[in-house]
Chains A and B, each alone.
Chain A
Amino acid sequence: MTAAWWEIVFERFKANDVRLIAHVPDAGLAALIRACEADPSFEVVPLTREEEGVGILSGGYLGGMRGALLMQSSGLGNSVNALGGLPLAYQIPFLLLITPRGRLAEFNPSQVPAGRAATKVLDALDVETVTLERVGEVETLVDQAIYTAFSTYRPVAMIASTLLTGGKRA
Chain B
Amino acid sequence: MDSIDAVRALRERLTDELLVTSLGTPSYLVNAAGDRPLNFYLWAAMGMASSTGLGLAIAQPKRRVVVVDGDGAALMNLGGMVTVASRAPANLLWVILENTVFLETGGQPIATGRGADLVQLARGAGIARAERVISLDGLGALLDAGLSEPGPTLVVARVGQDGSKEFPIVDPIRLKHRFRDALGLPVR
Contacts and interface: CB of A to CB of B under 8 A. Distances in A.
**Do they bind each other?**
yes
A24 to B, nearest CB: 10
Interface string B97-136: 0000000000000000000000000000000000000000
Contacts of A166: none
Contacts, number: 129
Contact of B59 (A48, A54, A65, A86): A65
B73 to A, nearest CB: 11
B61 to A, nearest CB: 9
B176 A55 contact: no
Contacts of A65: 55, 58-59
| Residue of A43, A49, A59, A85 most packed against chain B (CB within 10 A) | A59
Interface in B20-53: 20, 23, 40, 42-53
Q: Is the interface of A mostly helix, strand, loop or mixed?
A: helix
B47 A51 contact: yes
Given A20-B59, A89-B172, A55 B183 contact: no
B51 A64 contact: no
B54 A92 contact: no
A64 B63 CA distance: 13
A55 B80 contact: yes
Contacts of A52: 48, 51, 77, 79-80, 83
B170 to A, nearest CB: 11
Given A64-B185, A90-B175, A92-B176, A55 B44 contact: no
Given A52-B79, A55-B80, A86-B42, A60 B55 contact: yes
Contacts of B79: 47-49, 52
B58 A84 contact: no
A56 B172 contact: no
Nearest to A43: B58
A60 B56 CA distance: 5
A56 to B, nearest CB: 4
A106 B44 CA distance: 35
Interface of A: 20, 43, 45-49, 51-65, 67, 81-82, 84-86, 89-92, 153
